[in-house]
Chain A
Amino acid sequence: MALKLPIYMDHHATTPVDSRVLEAILPFFDDRFGNAASRNHSFGWAAEEAVENARAQVARLINATPKEVIVTSGATESDNLAIKGVAEMYREKGNHIITQATEHKAVLDTLKRLEKYGYEVTYLPVQRDGQVDLDDLRRAITPKTILITIMYANNEIGVIQPIAEIGKIAKERGVLFHVDGVQAVGKIPVDVQKDGIDLMSISAHKIYGPKGVGALYVRRKNPRVQVAAQIDGGGHERGMRSGTLNVPGIVGLGKACEVCQQEMPAESVRLAGLRDRLKQAIMGQLDEVYVNGSLEHRLPNNLNISFAYVEGESLLMGIHDVAVSSGSACTSATLEPSYVLKALGVGEDLAHTSIRFGLGRRNTEEEVDYVADRVVETVNRLRELSPLYDLAKEGVDLSKMSWKAD
């Protein structure tokens, strides 16, 4: 079969809506358009039933109960609701929150705002492999600590945190535990009971559902967790999140969770196989390429590699029929290289050369082989253009040179 270009390999950014999900959604735009809050006619009942069914599908994927699933507009809102909602609700107990350096901005910027309101935040460093040190975490907990918020898996490097261990520590110390589960849920087994998770953010569009819908898991037993609403109104979602329910979106979220649950055992093995094939093809043909983050504790679909002496954006330009992301400053709005790689101790020079490959449901072996060939060819071409590669070949230690940066 001929390859269809361009090839999408950026599934940490977003995913296409699965055809089964789309099929489930469509009637709710059309003849089943009712408002789930309309309690006295069949249009409302049909919508409510569909929402409750979706809630159950989400709950089954993470071993929760349907009542513990609060639907939101997406994971950014879920992160905001969890963190600000707990901060507000438990203010009397304390004002200290613990997180770690490689969290998503939806968590970090939310915490930054809370700091302005008098909350204290500890940002734990990560180790070279991207995992947080559990002893650091234990030491950071104080009597004032009300929340630990640590992501399940990182969106840039795919590194999985020791969530069950963190959950255990949180429980022992009586601290609530919020997890940004966006990249992990639907990709690897996530169990809020076994993992000791009290709150967890979920996004539909990262798991082949529609954009603009997500969920927050809020534990109801052992302990019963409460969050102060951040959006007030008609008292939807048990008063935690007002606003007319996005019924088609919620139906899509539920169906996406169901499909992920069915396919995860086989799909995660297939994706890990593709990922390893990609890694071997690239690393077998190029020297001085480095995988960023742990290979052992990693999402099956993630590969993040630095290609020494080749700037990331120029590499993306060379493989323009392949959609991937870079940690290069030139590709970011802030013109700073990836703060995640920096937190791992990756030098800024190498951070500028990083590429994130995010494999997904529709990627094939042929696509992986094509992408690997294009990457190898482009890196070789750009290294011929690179004065740094020249210097390195001459045996010059680049880190010891004095650069006239202006």
Chain B
Amino acid sequence: MAYSNKVIDHYENPRNVGSLPKNDPEVGTGMVGAPECGDVMRLQIKVNPETQVIEDAKFKTFGCGSAIASSSLATEWVKGKTVEDALRIKNTDIVRELSLPPVKIHCSVLAEDAIKAAIGDWKRKRGDEAGPNGTSAAASQAE
């Protein structure tokens, strides 16, 4: 299958590869997919508790070139956004940006799920699904 230049660029020069300390109360970790399905994405965000802005994002992905590119792009896009804005990123935006063919749409779905899972984890740590004002619960998660 021929890849778009953007997929190749993200595959060859993936952005924001790595890990953030998963026990940090300001870090949310999302891990989606399964090895049996050939795709596992781990996306992590670090959120400023004052501004709710995602200040850092890292990923690691087991999967095809499109899966790697989708998660790499997702980290680029969430960085600098508020948590609420990041939740508005849709898989179709990723499909369009990377020109993914129909057979690779599931990679973009997985990337959207990874963003949501990371934000969900961060919210759980704060002990407040709704958003701010969860400092005590977050602190109890820190080891």
Contacts and interface: CB of A to CB of B under 8 A. Distances in A.
Nearest to A335: B103
Contacts of A313: 64-65
A392 to B, nearest CB: 11
B26 interface: no
A181 B96 CA distance: 46
B35 A398 contact: yes
Interface string A303-329: 000000111111001100000000011
Interface string B96-119: 000000010000000001000100
A357 B71 CA distance: 29
Contacts of B40: 386-388, 403
Interface residues of A, number: 29
A311 B36 contact: no
Interface in B13-71: 14, 17, 19, 31-42, 60-65, 67-68
Contact of B31 (A335, A337, A352, A387): A387
B11 A387 contact: no
A130 B11 CA distance: 34
A385 B68 contact: yes
Contact of A386 (B8, B62, B64): B62
A387 B38 contact: no
Contacts of A377: none
A387 B42 contact: yes
Contact of A347 (B36, B42, B60, B68): B36
A337 B32 CA distance: 19
Nearest to B109: A406
A116 interface: no
A335 to B, nearest CB: 7
Given A317-B3, A317-B11, A385-B14, A405 B63 contact: no
A314 B65 contact: yes
A390 interface: yes
B121 to A, nearest CB: 12
Q: B19, B35, B36, B63: which has the most chain A beta carbons within 10 Å?
A: B35
Interface string A372-389: 000000000000111111
A322 to B, nearest CB: 15
Nearest to A328: B38
Interface in A272-330: 309-314, 317-318, 328-330
B36 A405 contact: yes
B39 to A, nearest CB: 7
Nearest to B42: A387
A404 B3 contact: no
Task: Give the bracket for the number of chain B residues in contact with chain A.
Answer: 20 to 34
Nearest to B43: A387
B11 to A, nearest CB: 6
Nearest to A404: B32
Contacts of B63: 311, 314
Contacts of A318: 11
Contacts of B36: 347-349, 352, 403, 405
A311 B38 contact: yes
Contact of A317 (B37, B65, B117): B65
Interface string B72-108: 0000000000000000000000000000000100000
A347 B8 CA distance: 29
A224 B85 CA distance: 76
Given A314-B11, A404-B32, A386 B60 contact: yes
The 4 A-B pairs with the shortest beta carbon distances in the complex, nearest first, are A403-B34, A349-B35, A405-B34, A387-B42
Interface of A: 309-314, 317-318, 328-330, 335, 337, 347-349, 352, 384-390, 398, 403-406
Interface of B: 3, 8, 11, 14, 17, 19, 31-42, 60-65, 67-68, 103, 113, 117
Given A314-B68, A317-B65, A403-B35, 17 more contacts: A311-B64, A314-B11, A314-B63, A317-B64, A330-B38, A330-B64, A347-B36, A348-B35, A349-B36, A352-B35, A385-B61, A385-B62, A387-B61, A388-B62, A390-B42, A390-B60, A403-B36
